[in-house]
Chain A
Amino acid sequence: MRLNRVQWLYDELPVLVRAGVLSEDAARRIRQHYGPVAQVAFSKIAVLLCGVFAALLIGLGIILLLAHNWDGLSRPLRTALAFAPLAAGQLLAAWTLWKRDDSAAWREGSGTFLALSIGACIALIGQTYHIPGNLSSFLLTWLLLGLPLVYVLRSTTVALLYAMGVTAWAAESQWQTGAPAYWPLMLLVLPHVIWVHSLDARGARAFLTAWGFSICLCVGLGIVLEGTPPGTWILAYSALLTVFLLAGRIWYPGALRHPFTWLGSLGTVGLALLLTFDDTWRDIGYAHHHRGDPFQPWGAVEGYIVVALLLILATILLLHLLRKDGFGVLPWGAAPAVALIGFALVLYAEQREVPLILYNLYLLILGILTFGDGIRKARLGRTNAGMAILSVLVVARFFDSDLSFSLRGILFILLGTGFLAANVLLARRYRSQEEEAP
């Protein structure tokens, strides 16, 4: 975070002045330029989180109390009580907008309480009138009534609850009627996410939204993808994870703990590892297409559009990074291309062994290049990451009983040859560096 970087620079200034790198005057002007380190930012975050947590607990407690089934009361009284938390939440939100509009803690807290009260009200009315259970329509109604609070109260907590709610709705609806509305529903909250990131891309709210929405998208994509043909998830997830990774490099460079970087890199490696197993490729192709309820034609069309858009976006981001930073990012950015080749081979040539070899080679190259990059730049984390990729690949192949001995033998020979080649190249590089050094 920015806070830490400024503090680090201030800590370094006396060292640089003593070493004669900077003059006292230059150090003073640097301190003037960045200003005092805003220590109070942490206390503001604490207040915000406490407010939201308190509202969550109170809201959930009221829901639990109302779920007790107060059927000793008359129906009119139960109906009136059903509106009580909703009315209280609305009054609190109104007061917040009128008197505390500048306080993020009040807006987040009142928004969260009101959002939960909507669900409590509808649920209690359902109990009072014995309305049959239809979780899907209950969730959808709750979501649509709560969504405006994201914009009126500028509440990121409500936005995150909304994204989780949409994903839960999709999980509930997909097996009944399909969930083609998942993407339009998620897009409805996108303006808020963009606004939060435009305010402070490295702030706490941007960090939370990045984590929350990334995870929701990863889960939701798998739920709503119709799989026409089966195996489309390979392209979809490969492209999505690459988009995360490349977006992290473009908009949050150096932020290794950013969710985009974490999910993008770990996800790409995890997916590639999964695709080195024969079982993963077994049910791919038109021959395995499911028929019957609840196949949704609109869901299939949406799936094609989403996959195409993700692939296009991944390509655009990759080309941008290649022009800006060179070919270093190519191995990571090539993941969708590898997925496309493998998927096409299985789909049209009904060939499973070549994609397996392809993915093993891909992980090998990725591991070696990451390891080499770490050695070259003396970055221990990257070196370890490269070693970890290579290690899991070796372990996975050794214990992969689905592969024939001959195929495993070929793969081990290729892996070993790859290691040797990397060793030779690195040794030559170090020798030439030592010869060039004075």
Chain B
Amino acid sequence: MKKTALGIAFVIVVCAQLAVPAYMIHEREVTLREGRAYRFECAPVDPYDAFRGRYVALAVTERQFAGWSGSPLERGRRVYALLSEDEAGFADIVSLSLQPPAQGDYIRATVQWVVSGKGAINLRLPFDRYYMDENLAPQAERAYRQGNRAGENKAYITVRVRNGAAVLEELYIEDLPIRDYLSRHPDIG
């Protein structure tokens, strides 16, 4: 009896342990397959902040939204950012709302901080890092830094968006995926 009860409990535990990572994967896979791709320009970053361990830290320019006129928002509040594309083909946040918009592509974000008196809100977007092989990450960081500092080569990321979910797809420098860029520029080091 005790062994049966333990067995049943173990099966429930195993199902829960498999279900949580499976759910994480499912939502992101569906977003990658069926979501619309948006390009987010990356801002120049302090080189000492760009690299933390085995990933490249990304500072997306479209993080601040000016023109919030609603009730004051506290840090950590969930908001929904409606997206569109500008003339250059990069993503632009056109509005913020506290409920999911009825139409259009939007992403779930959280309020990072509020610039008081100006109606500007800094958002924490659901993509802030790009994981890479530990041997390539330092080169990627240097390429990313050089591309941003020179101002000539735009570094940007593509993000698939669907029903509020956003999954980072790829990091580009000079319109090349980062690994292709590094293989064509072995002199970066």
Distance, CA A128 to CA B134, complexed state (A): 14
One of B21, B75, B134 near A69 (C-beta < 8 A): B134
One of B13, B21, B75, B133 near A82 (C-beta < 8 A): B21
- Minimum distance in angstroms from B63 CB to a CB of chain A: 13
Distance, CA A79 to CA B26, complexed state (A): 11
A130 touches B127 (CB 8 A): yes
Chain A residues near B18: list those with CB within 8 A.
Answer: 83, 86, 90
- A151 adjacent to chain B (CB < 8 Å): yes
One of A129, A130, A145, A176 near B16 (C-beta < 8 A): A145
Distance, CA A177 to CA B74, complexed state (A): 12
- B78 adjacent to chain A (CB < 8 Å): no
A130 touches B129 (CB 8 A): yes
Contacts A83-B21, A86-B21, A122-B20 hold; do A127 and B3 have CB atoms under 8 A apart?
A: no
| Interfacial residues of chain A within 168-211, with CB under 8 A of chain B in the complex | 176-177
From A93-101, A307-315, A337-345, A389-397, the one touching the partner chain is: A93-101
Q: 10 A-B contacts, Cβ less than 8 Å apart?
A: A69-B54, A71-B132, A86-B18, A97-B6, A122-B20, A129-B25, A132-B128, A133-B129, A148-B12, A177-B76
B132 touches A129 (CB 8 A): no
- Minimum distance in angstroms from A148 CB to a CB of chain B: 4
- A431 adjacent to chain B (CB < 8 Å): no
Distance, CA A354 to CA B79, complexed state (A): 53
Chain B residues near A225: list those with CB within 8 A.
Answer: none
- Minimum distance in angstroms from A241 CB to a CB of chain B: 35
B131 touches A69 (CB 8 A): yes
Interface SS, A side:
helix
- Minimum distance in angstroms from A117 CB to a CB of chain B: 9
Interface bits A324-355 vs B (CB < 8 Å: 1, else 0): 00000000000000000000000000000000
Residues of A within 8 A of B (CB): 67-72, 79, 82-83, 86, 90, 93-94, 97, 101, 118, 121-122, 125, 127-133, 141, 145, 148-149, 151-152, 176-177, 293-294
Distance, CA A125 to CA B25, complexed state (A): 7
Distance, CA A132 to CA B132, complexed state (A): 14
Nearest to B8 among chain A residues (CB) is: A152
Contacts A94-B10, A97-B6, A97-B10 hold; do A129 and B134 have CB atoms under 8 A apart?
A: no
Q: Which of B9, B12, B24, B55 has the most CB of A within 10 A?
A: B24
Nearest to B5 among chain A residues (CB) is: A152
- B50 adjacent to chain A (CB < 8 Å): no
* 10 interchain residue pairs of minimum CB distance: A130-B168, A148-B13, A127-B131, A129-B28, A132-B128, A69-B133, A152-B10, A145-B17, A90-B14, A152-B9
A68 touches B134 (CB 8 A): yes
B21 touches A152 (CB 8 A): no
Chain A residues near B17: list those with CB within 8 A.
Answer: 86, 90, 118, 145
Contacts A133-B128, A151-B9 hold; do A72 and B133 have CB atoms under 8 A apart?
A: yes
- Minimum distance in angstroms from A397 CB to a CB of chain B: 46
- Minimum distance in angstroms from A165 CB to a CB of chain B: 15
B21 touches A122 (CB 8 A): yes
- B89 adjacent to chain A (CB < 8 Å): no
Apart from the given pairs A132-B127, A152-B9, 7 other A-B contacts in the complex at a CB distance below 8 Å: A69-B133, A71-B133, A83-B18, A125-B25, A129-B168, A130-B168, A132-B129
Nearest to A89 among chain B residues (CB) is: B17
Chain B residues near A68: list those with CB within 8 A.
Answer: 133-134
Distance, CA A90 to CA B21, complexed state (A): 14
One of B6, B21, B126 near A132 (C-beta < 8 A): B126
| Interfacial residues of chain B within 1-45, with CB under 8 A of chain A in the complex | 3, 6-7, 9-10, 12-14, 16-18, 20-21, 24-25, 28
A293 touches B75 (CB 8 A): yes
Interface bits B119-151 vs A (CB < 8 Å: 1, else 0): 000001111111111100100000000000000
Distance, CA A62 to CA B167, complexed state (A): 26
Distance, CA A101 to CA B7, complexed state (A): 11
A130 touches B130 (CB 8 A): yes
- Minimum distance in angstroms from A90 CB to a CB of chain B: 5
A149 touches B13 (CB 8 A): yes
Chain A residues near B76: list those with CB within 8 A.
Answer: 176-177
Interface bits B48-82 vs A (CB < 8 Å: 1, else 0): 00000011000000000000000000011000000
Chain B residues near A128: list those with CB within 8 A.
Answer: 131
Nearest to A145 among chain B residues (CB) is: B17
Contacts A67-B54, A71-B132, A86-B18 hold; do A152 and B24 have CB atoms under 8 A apart?
A: no
Distance, CA A83 to CA B13, complexed state (A): 15
Distance, CA A118 to CA B19, complexed state (A): 12
Chain A residues near B28: list those with CB within 8 A.
Answer: 129, 131
B7 touches A97 (CB 8 A): yes
Distance, CA A83 to CA B25, complexed state (A): 11
Contacts A69-B131, A71-B132 hold; do A101 and B21 have CB atoms under 8 A apart?
A: no
A125 touches B21 (CB 8 A): yes
B131 touches A71 (CB 8 A): yes
- Minimum distance in angstroms from B137 CB to a CB of chain A: 8
